[in-house]
Amino acid sequence: MIDQKFLTPRQIVAELDKYIIGQNEAKKNVAIALRNRWRRMHVKSDMQREIVPNNILMIGATGVGKTEIARRLAKIADAPFTKVEASKFTEVGYVGRDVESMVRDLVEQSVKLVKQTKKAEVKVKAEQAVEDIILDALIPPVRNSRPSVTQPNGEIEEAEKMTDAELNERTRERFREKIRSGEIDDRKIEISIQAPQANGLGMVGGGMDEASMINLQDMLQNMLPKRSKKRKVTIEEAKKLLLEEESSKLIDMDEVKDEAIKKAENTGMIFIDEVDKIAGSSKKGGGSGPDVSREGVQRDLLPIVEGSAVNTKYGVINTDHILFIAAGAFHVAKPSDLIPELQGRFPIRVELNSLTQEHFYQILKEPKNALTKQYMALIGSEDVSLEYTDEALQEIARIAFHINEEVENIGARRLHTVMSRLLNDILFDIPEQIPPNAKVVVTKEMVQERLNGLVQNKDLSEFIL
């Protein structure tokens, strides 16, 4: 990963290009937004507090790369990221998730990221502690209980000079080497591990909001005594189970919480999808029925996007500098149908282009995680090699594009269905009909044979995801 200190907008776009085809305008805008966050953190004066992120509104049909751009951006920046769907929220007072839950989800992600970093720092110490626990199960430590044997001349015998404790320690060191080398991974031992806490908590009397419920659950769990249970597992399993526990013991959770809150506040990203679903209809005569609730959700979102303090179980987080990326197809509603205050909080608007047949071909061939490469890896796990001719990839792109035009345009997601239909028989025949070390080549003729009949059939309901 590129050091964020040198993460220029061009470098960000170059990283995004490895996974996302086209959409250069969107990539450019998100790259500037990400670099601006780094710039703000390095502003020396009090102006640092005043600089707010330029939130982005992405407009484009489904499957053109809106979510993928945001997700990859967060990975490049090693930033906490959460995706929510605006249509899942409901106005305060109705049944459904409240808008503050997305901020709490972001903090949870931030805590996970910080914990992973801290665990990597204490990994060596944690591994040594795990080895000691396993050694205690294999060879319990002993105290010296052997009586000294003295010769008639008054000297202690050479063989008897070593105490039981020293012999025990020497044996433990030999076994420590065996544990590290994996030589005795299959041997079973009995260990004590912490039993998981029960998550369910019933409500008594009136209902309470989500934040209060989380805080109450957390408080009660901390009050309950920690229970442990004995399990008989292999040494290999014991290493994994105990490493998590021992790492957690070496981490200062108060420090983790403080760092996580700061990380979420300064580098966090929230992707709000389907924002067009909460926009009022632009048709005349609208403004009643569901539209009232939609506007209520927008007004609930507004303080979060503007900047407010949200209570989480890890502490209070301010949302002033969180980067919000909203997205929607806007087929029926228009961005101007959002309430003016919310529109003003998304000053950067990017229209993503519909994917062409050439884009489909590039998506199949170029990205590091291309679907074709995923299938090559899947089939390669059975020691069967899979290859595609260039003409085959062009034909797959043509067919997927044609189906999108004929039925419903679901963008690059169409490739998943087409590729699955194309390779299902091959996946089914391995390993009985297609043995290990075989080579399968996908040609243009094979693609036409397996998919052209479906293209000619106007009833393509099975391709609608």
Whole-number pLDDT of residue 199: 52
Has 455 been labeled as part of a binding site? no
Has 65 been labeled as part of a binding site? yes
Has 341 been labeled as part of a binding site? yes
CA pair distance 365, 48, nearest whole angstrom:
43
Has 383 been labeled as part of a binding site? no
Has 21 been labeled as part of a binding site? yes
Distances (CA, A) of 262 to 117, 209, 301, 441: 15, 25, 22, 52
Has 236 been labeled as part of a binding site? no
Average pLDDT of each block of 10 consecutive residues along the chain (465 residues)?
67 93 92 89 86 92 90 90 86 65 94 92 89 83 53 49 71 84 85 65 50 60 68 86 87 93 94 89 46 79 93 92 93 89 92 92 93 95 94 94 85 91 93 92 93 63 49
Has 82 been labeled as part of a binding site? no
- The alpha carbon of residue 211 and the mean position of all alpha carbons in its chain are separated, in whole angstroms, by 23
Has 458 been labeled as part of a binding site? no
Q: What is the pLDDT of residues 423-463, one digit of tens each?
A: 999 999 999 999 999 999 999 999 999 887 666 655 545 55
Whole-number pLDDT of residue 333: 86
Whole-number pLDDT of residue 132: 86
Whole-number pLDDT of residue 131: 85
Has 273 been labeled as part of a binding site? yes
Q: What is the pLDDT of residues 187-217, one digit of tens each?
A: 888 888 776 655 555 444 444 555 555 666 6
Q: pTM for this one?
A: 0.79
Burial class (CB in 10 A: 0-12, 13-18, 19+), 155: exposed
Whole-number pLDDT of residue 215: 60
The structural domains of the chain, ordered by start, are 4-117+259-351 (3.40.50.300), 123-145+167-250 (no CATH), 357-452 (1.10.8.60)
Has 63 been labeled as part of a binding site? yes
Question: In terms of Cα–Cα distance, which of 26, 32, 76 is closest to 53?
Answer: 32
For the chain, percent of residues with pLDDT exceeding 90: 45
Whole-number pLDDT of residue 139: 80
Q: What is the pLDDT of residues 247-279, one digit of tens each?
A: 888 999 999 999 999 999 999 999 999 999 888
